[in-house]
Structure 1
Amino acid sequence: MRFRNIKEPFNSIRFNFTKLHDNEVMMYLKCEDNPITTDPLDRHLIAVNASPLERDHCLIIPAVNKCHPQVLNPVAIRLAVDIMLLVTDSDFHILFNSLLGQASVNHLHLHALYWPYDSDLINRCFEHLADVPDVYVIQPPMWLTSAFAFQLTKMEDYEKFKSNIFKCVNFLTDQNQAHNLFFTRAQPIRTDGPDRVEDRRRQLPLYVTCYVFPRQNIVGAKPPSNFNPAANELAGCLTSYTYRFFESAAEQAVVRIIEEEALLPTNVFQNLCCDLSDLYSNRPLGTSRESKTSLLDGLSSPEIDELRDTFESFNQPRSPSVRLKNPLNHTQSVDEQVVRFEIHSAD
């Protein structure tokens, strides 16, 4: 379907989930001691997916009777977090695609599926978002695309975890910026040490983690390509829709498609980082941007030119396996330092 805006109103004429048949509804969701919503007539359900990526791929539909458009709200985030906490299998994931971010139905829903391959994103080193302790950032060349990360390490932070995610996606929605979300279980997020550390012995705890990918807006119909980078793909889990692509896919080609169709320009993502750090720190929006501008004002022309040359030197292929910070050494094998794309042939 063609969409023009992140907040396009719900359209009852187009396909929506009120048209589901009874035999397509797998279960209804309810919480006895802490109701999901205050309206007792709300129906939160899990339904079959007519176009599954994998076996058991289903849809989570919050308050289907309210006919919310495809915009994340606190109820949807709560359902995603609660279901992630209920399902302890590390192969279980919940995904969300906004309008202009590969969503095909404008009726609020999330995807739930078991994916038998780890995202290499969970092994990567992140940075703190400025002075915000509970929000993390990763950018190329450390990963395929830019992302914010949130992690629930103890139940005392349950409300704050949900609130932080909502603040992020609500801000992106207000900015009409497309986005994808990937919920998974991940080892504790690191902000120091090697660029990549894989817990092969499964000794580290796994926490419910949410990655938010701001991305280019895709206006109109989905572009024809071998694969469409959405939440699963931006997390490094590729889906192949043709055997030809499955047999011929190369990492550099995949990275190029993601750069062309999803990756935000560096300056756009940096502005989002500045504004979000202001939002989380209760500062007026624009404060951090002004601070960065004032720092540049104090530099001489040669210093600014040197900075520009430094940034331009990173204008290389953005594959994390090509652009690692640390050179290959004899204590690490090649497969410990490269990104492993898991390519799945869909039926």
Structure 2
Amino acid sequence: MWKHFKFDPNSVNFSCFTDEKFNEFDNLLRCEWEHAVSQGLFMFTIDYNAKQRILDDGGLNYIIDLNSDRQEKRRVPYLFEHVNIPFDNKKFHFNKIKDAEVLFSLDNEQQTDKHLIIINAAPIRPYHVLLVPYRKLEQPQVVTADCIVFGCEFVAASAHPYLVAGLNSLCAYASVNHLHLHGMYCPGRMFIQTLKCSVFHTKSNCYLLDSFQPQAFAFEVKHIDEFNKISQDVYRITNYLTLNNIAHNVAIVKGDSFSSANNVLRIFIWFRQSITNGKKFERCNFAFLELGGFMTMPDEEVYNTLTESEMCQHMNALALSVEEQKRIKDDVKNLLDN
């Protein structure tokens, strides 16, 4: 049986400006991940010194690195045409993995099968893991309030300033229809950790990331006592998007408060064009991580030549029409009013 880490509400860290350090939680994650490497559980040899650079022709501090192995050797992603598809037991899911691929469980109780942290067998970078809530329930890749709480606890438990958790819906680059989030140490501070957002809905403390054409709803978590309430608000929005077949991505990071000088957890929900049937673009593809400020490039020529302005052009192409965005925002305001 795998290990269990008890979430400690008294040792949370919301700062994205601390030194890159590790605590007991980080050490467990890294140690168990390295043990999985020694057992040969990954699809390729992980490069701990991948090429990396910052797109420095603008002010975003956008980070890219080079990883050709992942695209070539990962499991072929399933093709999806709709955001909400029932779970299919005949396809790959996380109840089919080896026990050795489970690193440990995380929650504030002692349930060793509730919130699992497992390896991503085709990692984007070292220590890339998957967060799988209630694996035995075989839930499809549809956001629940509980999985948002899991993501918040995962990020808050770490001492590292650049740990991120995120989720991609179907048609927004989820590759498996079994509920999961990604967890990863990014190589530097992502722009979504500090970028200013506009007030969107005062009553619910909801903000809007509107610096780019594909916009995102945003919440800030100031204290762990808010995990459940804000996760419910996030779920209300993602449930609306799912029911209306609108592709979306979610990211949870440490960052600046939108409204004060405090450190908070930031939660973003992008609503964007659907990518159906696993379509890939030649230069840039955007899931939650790429929308947030970090992109892994499979092609060295693209890695060497990509600029921030070009990246932003590709990102902006994901936006829904102005009319559709307005309709979504109006609907979400009505949701949050009630």
TM range (shorter): 0.7 to 0.9
**Secondary structure, aligned partner of 1:245:** helix
Which residue of the other structure, out of 188, 210, 226, is the alignment partner of 2:257?
188
The answer on 1:212 being equivalent to 2:269 is yes
Deviations along 1:241-265, one digit per CA (max 9) or x if unpaired, are 12111101012221222223x2222
| 1:128 matched residue in structure 2 | 199
The answer on 1:80 being equivalent to 2:151 is yes
Letter of the 2:258 partner, please give it.
I
Which residue of the other structure, out of 127, 140, 154, is the alignment partner of 1:69?
140
- Distance, in Å, in 2 between the alignment partners of 1:91 and 1:41 is 26
Tell me if the contact between 1:226 and 1:241 (Cα under 8 Å) persists in the aligned partners.
no
Structure number with higher strand proportion: 2
Tell me if the contact between 2:119 and 2:128 (Cα under 8 Å) persists in the aligned partners.
yes
Cα drift, residue 7 of structure 1: 1.1
Deviations along 1:244-297, one digit per CA (max 9) or x if unpaired, are 11101012221222223x222222112111111111111xxxxxxxxxxxxxxx
Trace 1:34-183 onto structure 2 (pairs within 5 A): 42-139=113-210, 142-143=211-212, 145-183=214-252
Tell me if the contact between 2:155 and 2:165 (Cα under 8 Å) persists in the aligned partners.
yes
- Distance, in Å, in 2 between the alignment partners of 1:281 and 1:90 is 34
Instruction: Indicate how the Cα distance of structure 1 residues 153 and 248 shifts in structure 2: closer, same or farther if over 3 A, else same.
Output: same
Letter of the 2:280 partner, please give it.
P
The answer on 1:228 being equivalent to 2:281 is no
Cα drift, residue 131 of structure 1: 4.5
Cα drift, residue 171 of structure 1: 1.2
Cα drift, residue 50 of structure 1: 1.5
Deviations along 1:92-145, one digit per CA (max 9) or x if unpaired, are 000100000110111111000000221223333222114445000122xx2363
Tell which deviates more after alignment, 10-19 or 94-103. 10-19
Tell me if the contact between 1:70 and 1:105 (Cα under 8 Å) persists in the aligned partners.
yes
Cα drift, residue 190 of structure 1: 4.5
| 1:270 matched residue in structure 2 | 326
| 2:94 matched residue in structure 1 | 17
Unaligned runs of at least 5 residues, structure 1: 192-203, 283-347
Cα drift, residue 42 of structure 1: 4.9
**Secondary structure, aligned partner of 2:230:** helix
| 2:301 matched residue in structure 1 | 244
Cα drift, residue 161 of structure 1: 1.5
| 1:303 matched residue in structure 2 | none
Cα drift, residue 22 of structure 1: 1.5
| 2:314 matched residue in structure 1 | 257
- Distance, in Å, in 1 between the alignment partners of 2:166 and 2:262 is 22
Cα drift, residue 152 of structure 1: 0.7
- Distance, in Å, in 2 between the alignment partners of 1:133 and 1:161 is 9
- Distance, in Å, in 1 between the alignment partners of 2:188 and 2:230 is 25
Cα drift, residue 41 of structure 1: 8.8
Letter of the 2:277 partner, please give it.
G
Ranked by relative contact order (alpha carbons within 8 Å, sequence separation 6 or more), the top structure is 2
| 2:29 matched residue in structure 1 | none
Cα drift, residue 80 of structure 1: 0.9
Tell me if the contact between 2:204 and 2:336 (Cα under 8 Å) persists in the aligned partners.
no
Which residue of the other structure, out of 74, 81, 89, is the alignment partner of 1:4?
81
- Distance, in Å, in 1 between the alignment partners of 2:288 and 2:224 is 26
Cα drift, residue 148 of structure 1: 0.7
- Distance, in Å, in 1 between the alignment partners of 2:112 and 2:307 is 50
- Kindly tell me the number of residue pairs found equivalent between the two proteins: 261
Cα drift, residue 11 of structure 1: 0.9
Letter of the 1:129 partner, please give it.
F
Letter of the 2:325 partner, please give it.
F
Deviations along 1:57-102, one digit per CA (max 9) or x if unpaired, are 0000111111110001122112111222212321100010000011
Tell me if the contact between 1:16 and 1:106 (Cα under 8 Å) persists in the aligned partners.
yes
Deviations along 1:19-51, one digit per CA (max 9) or x if unpaired, are 10121111123432xx7xxxx795431111112
Determine which structure has more spread, i.e. the larger CA radius of gyration: 1
Tell me if the contact between 1:127 and 1:138 (Cα under 8 Å) persists in the aligned partners.
yes
Instruction: Indicate how the Cα distance of structure 1 residues 130 and 85 shifts in structure 2: closer, same or farther if over 3 A, else same.
Output: closer
Tell me if the contact between 1:131 and 1:277 (Cα under 8 Å) persists in the aligned partners.
no
Cα drift, residue 237 of structure 1: 1.6
- Distance, in Å, in 2 between the alignment partners of 1:166 and 1:8 is 17
Per the normalisation by structure 1, the TM-score is 0.71
Letter of the 1:270 partner, please give it.
K
| 2:20 matched residue in structure 1 | none
- Distance, in Å, in 2 between the alignment partners of 1:143 and 1:64 is 35
**Secondary structure, aligned partner of 1:124:** coil
Deviations along 1:297-324, one digit per CA (max 9) or x if unpaired, are xxxxxxxxxxxxxxxxxxxxxxxxxxxx
- Distance, in Å, in 2 between the alignment partners of 1:155 and 1:62 is 19
